[in-house]
Structure 1
């Protein structure tokens, strides 16, 4: 008698979990970028000068889409 064991469902579940984790990580990263760029755009010129950033640099960074680093 021969015994055959298939681990395909378990491997597929593991691969799917990894894909979900990667998707959640990417969405979290995108959300953080959008929030940080919004906060940067809201800083006053004086606050920007305190951190060594010009208004032009801040505006350019804030104008980037969330998916672009």
Structure 2
């Protein structure tokens, strides 16, 4: 006799795996947002000489600093 899994069991397992991954994705997003905030604070503190050394124009800096942390 052949055993088969019901579709209910399969989908329940997948949804519980997806639910388990949610905290990891949330943590990953929080860490990414924190890095963006930190790097933009550092960018805001650079003077024109350091910007030129990095090859960043004032317009590029302004565009980056204007972005919300989630982008």
TM-score (norm 1): 0.73
In structure 1, list runs of 5 or more residues that go unmatched. 1-5
RMSD: 1.9
Summarize the alignment of residues 1-69 of structure 1 with structure 2, pairs less than 5 Å apart.
Answer: 12=16, 14-68=17-71
State the shift of 1:63 in Å.
Answer: 1.3
Structure 2, gaps ≥5 residues long: 1-8
2:67 match: secondary structure: coil
Query: Shift of residue 59 of structure 1?
Result: 1.5
Give the drift of 1:17: 2.7
Summarize deviations over 1:8-62 as a string: whole Å, max 9, x none: 68x73x4333110000001111111111111111100000000111112112101
Moved over 4 A (4+): none
